[in-house]
Amino acid sequence: MPVSTSPLLRVEGLKTHYFGFGGSRVVKAVDGVSFTVEAGETFGLVGESGCGKTTTCHSIVRLLSPSAKIVGGRIELEGKNLLDLSAREMREVRGRRIASILQDPMASLDPLFSIGNQVAEPAYYHGLLRGRPLHQRVRELLAAVRIPSPEKRLKEFPHQMSGGMRQRIVGAIAQAGDPCLIIADEPTTNLDVTIQLQYLNLLKELQQATNVGLIFVTHNLGIVAKMCDTVAVMYAGKIVEMQSVRGLFYEPRHPYTKALLDSIPKLGTKEPLYAVPGQPPDLSALPPGCSFHPRCAQAMERCRTEEPPEVRDNSGRTTRCWLTQPQEAVHA
Amino acid sequence: MAITFDDVRSVTTNAERARRLFGYMRQLPMIPLFVLSLLGFVAIFADVIAPHSELDPVKPTSAQCQALYGAPDCPYLEDVPPFWSEGGSLTTPLGTDFLGRDVLSRLMYGARISLIVALMGTVVAGTIGTLLGVIAGYMGRWWDQVIMRVTDAWLTLPSLVFAILLLSVRGPGMWNVVLVLALVFWSRYSRAVRGEVLALRERDFVKLAEINGISKTRIIFRHLIPNVMNTVMVLFSLQVGVAVIIEASLSFLGVGVPPPEPSWGLMLAQERDAMMEGKWWLAVFPGICISLLVLSANMLGDWLRVRLDPQLRNR
């Protein structure tokens, strides 16, 4: 494999808007999101419900609902801009370069096809393997995701599996086309806690074995701490803070990140659980200035009128907040 | 050593294969399969096994003519009852109709027409309707708009009147009835199937297939159609019955299968008045045949529905 200098995935200024009522109502679900994912890296995407995490993921594979449109930005996978590809070329990318793990393991498998058939489908469809080698590959994939006695299991059907097993099988399907990027959209939300831990360990192992880039969408900060290398916190369609996972937990810089960290339940205290005040904003009618200011404890006059730009400091951390601007920028 | 390793293995696999075949056979729905294959057999070999012609009256013996008309020769005997009642004869086991034709022979030839019309009509309608419904539901946008508006318009047409209109354009005839049944009934399927597909489309396994770059055609044929087969099967087995009845009504009204041809529906329709006069065999036998056909189509449909669903078939 040739060593490329460009990152595996580079998303730059991505804007995905939903157009409702004949274009009269525009919902800026993703509004200028930029990040990069390296091979073998786990990139976490966190934020409240409806802040644009899932829309970002769908934009990357270009499978948006008809009312949504990517209105700006670039999505480069291995140096190629995915937004320039034709529908046919894009289909080659899906499954072969990018794969996905979805939220609900109960619904992710077709009830009418045996496990073996479903795991084989991406590789078969993209013409990678046929016949005996394909069978062999499916068995290896099932073994890799710790399905006991894969030879027997691949003849069985989804309803004969537990939730954890099904989600592992979805993991095997994601691996089948040999992708370089896997998008995991809250893959453990519907699993119970012990199975979650097993599953996350398994994902990490698989990632180390195959060196894929992983985009991990979640709203569980505990999972972020366990899984991710870099974390981006999204609020109202924008990334408000992005830095290494260690930095995020030890030195959060954006007031929203701090508020999120404060609202993790802690064992052994009798204090009531902290909640970020207010509601997530209506994405079609964002407040002027910084969209977080109505809920921000440290909001200043400036926050109400001017939107803070995304600023990257020397160590590569980015924030969108007037509080963290370099001095000269604040006074400029 | 006379027996090599290979020999032993081939023997065991043969036994294994036989056992598996037997196990599979035992799961087959015996009653509907028996009825349908009997009807199919009769339909195919009607020329060979029918005792009399389906169109010409049975030639009576001079003794019968003498007893009935007091003359040594007569053209036919009408309304002879079945063999076990008084006045019946074994030459015409199920009696004769108002023109002296053998009811049994007519039923045998009628099986041809009724089976072809009912099954072909529903299969063609089901195929058209299912495909259009899946396309409308899955492709959405203007596909959905166009197909579903046409379906809506189609559903508002009263089926029998619409069928009569179409047939008056095409003219009577068996294949025209098949065509018309397909044209009239496809909308039932497309409506039901579209609804089902709208729900399926949002299920994660369809999304996952899309994310894995599977093409729309393959998703339709691999994932959507097998998943709507349940609904289609149920509709299918119900529609077979409706098709037989519609065919009967059309034939009765003179736009379906033209009268000298024996179709079960036509026989039933023609003999309604005779039944009121106590000549029950004329209407009851075709009625039994229709019921058997519809019942076994229903049972077979139900069995298929269970077979197609891995959660219901016991493994």
Give the pLDDT means over successive 10-residue stretches in chain B (315 positions): 45 73 76 86 82 72 68 69 70 74 84 85 90 88 88 86 84 83 87 88 84 84 86 82 80 76 79 75 83 83 76 62
Written as one letter, the residue type at A170 is: V
Chain A residues with CB under 8 Å of B201 CB are: none
Domain containing B288 — which CATH number?
1.10.3720.10
Interatomic CA distance for residues A136 and A157, integer angstroms: 19
How many CB contacts within 8 angstroms connect chain A with chain B?
A: 81
pLDDT of residue A327: 52
Does B169 map to a domain? yes
Residue B51, chain A, CB below 8 Å: the answer is no
Does B47 map to a domain? no
Does A161 map to a domain? no
Residue A187, chain B, CB below 8 Å: the answer is no
Q: Give the burial string for A302-318 (b: 16+ CB within 10 Å, else e).
A: bbeeeebebeeeeeebb
DSSP assignments along A111-143, one per residue: TTS-HHHHHHHHHHHTTS--HHHHHHHHHHHHH
Total number of domains constituting chain B:
1
Domain containing A90 — which CATH number?
3.40.50.300
Q: Please name the member of A100, A113, A114 whose beta carbon is closest to the beta carbon of B211.
A: A100
* Angstroms from A159 CA to nearest CA on chain B: 7
Q: Please name the member of A98, A109, A114 whose beta carbon is closest to the beta carbon of B205.
A: A109
Residue B314, chain A, CB below 8 Å: the answer is no
Task: Estimate to the nearest angstrom the gap between the alpha carbon of A35 and the chain centroid.
Answer: 11
Does B1 map to a domain? no
Say if the Cβ atoms of B218 and A125 lie within 8 Å. yes
* Angstroms from B12 CA to nearest CA on chain A: 21
Q: Compare all CA atoms of chain B with the CA of A96 and give the residue at the minimum distance.
A: B212
Chain B residues with CB under 8 Å of A126 CB are: 213
Does A120 map to a domain? no
Interatomic CA distance for residues A64 and B41, integer angstroms: 54
Interatomic CA distance for residues B187 and B73, integer angstroms: 56
Q: Please name the member of B141, B204, B208 whose beta carbon is closest to the beta carbon of A66.
A: B141
B76: exposed, middle or buried (C-beta count within 10 Å: 0-12, 13-18, 19+)? middle
* Angstroms from A162 CA to nearest CA on chain B: 14
The pLDDT mean for chain B works out to 79
For residue A88, what are the domain limits? 9-97+179-331
pLDDT of residue A330: 45
pTM summary value = 0.72
Does A14 map to a domain? yes
Does A49 map to a domain? yes
Does B23 map to a domain? no
Does B218 map to a domain? yes
Query: Residue ranges of chain A with pLDDT lower than 50?
Result: 1-3, 328-332
- For chain A positions 14-53, those within 8 Å of chain B (CB to CB) are none
Interatomic CA distance for residues A68 and A19, integer angstroms: 6
Does B282 map to a domain? yes
As a residue count, chain A comes to: 332
Residue B212, chain A, CB below 8 Å: the answer is yes
* Angstroms from A82 CA to nearest CA on chain B: 14
Close Cβ partners of A267 (under 8 Å, ≥ 6 residues apart) = none
Which own/partner contact pairs does B161-164 have at CB distance under 8 Å and 24+ positions apart? B163/B246, B163/B250, B163/B255, B164/B250, B164/B253, B164/B255
Say if the Cβ atoms of A63 and B213 lie within 8 Å. no
Q: Please name the member of A98, A104, A125 whose beta carbon is closest to the beta carbon of B214.
A: A125
- Locate B57 and state its tokens: 């009256």
Does B68 map to a domain? no
Total number of domains constituting chain A:
1
Interatomic CA distance for residues A236 and A278, integer angstroms: 13
Interatomic CA distance for residues B148 and B140, integer angstroms: 10
Interatomic CA distance for residues A6 and B7, integer angstroms: 61
Q: Compare all CA atoms of chain A with the CA of B202 and give the residue at the minimum distance.
A: A107
Does A218 map to a domain? yes
Does A142 map to a domain? no
A165: exposed, middle or buried (C-beta count within 10 Å: 0-12, 13-18, 19+)? buried
Interatomic CA distance for residues A276 and A282, integer angstroms: 16
pLDDT of residue B63: 66
| φ/ψ (deg, to 5) at A111 | -65, -15
For residue B241, what are the domain limits? 103-308
pLDDT of residue B314: 56
Chain B residues with CB under 8 Å of A98 CB are: 211
Does B171 map to a domain? yes
Say if the Cβ atoms of B203 and A125 lie within 8 Å. no
* Angstroms from B300 CA to nearest CA on chain A: 20
Chain B residues with CB under 8 Å of A94 CB are: 210-213
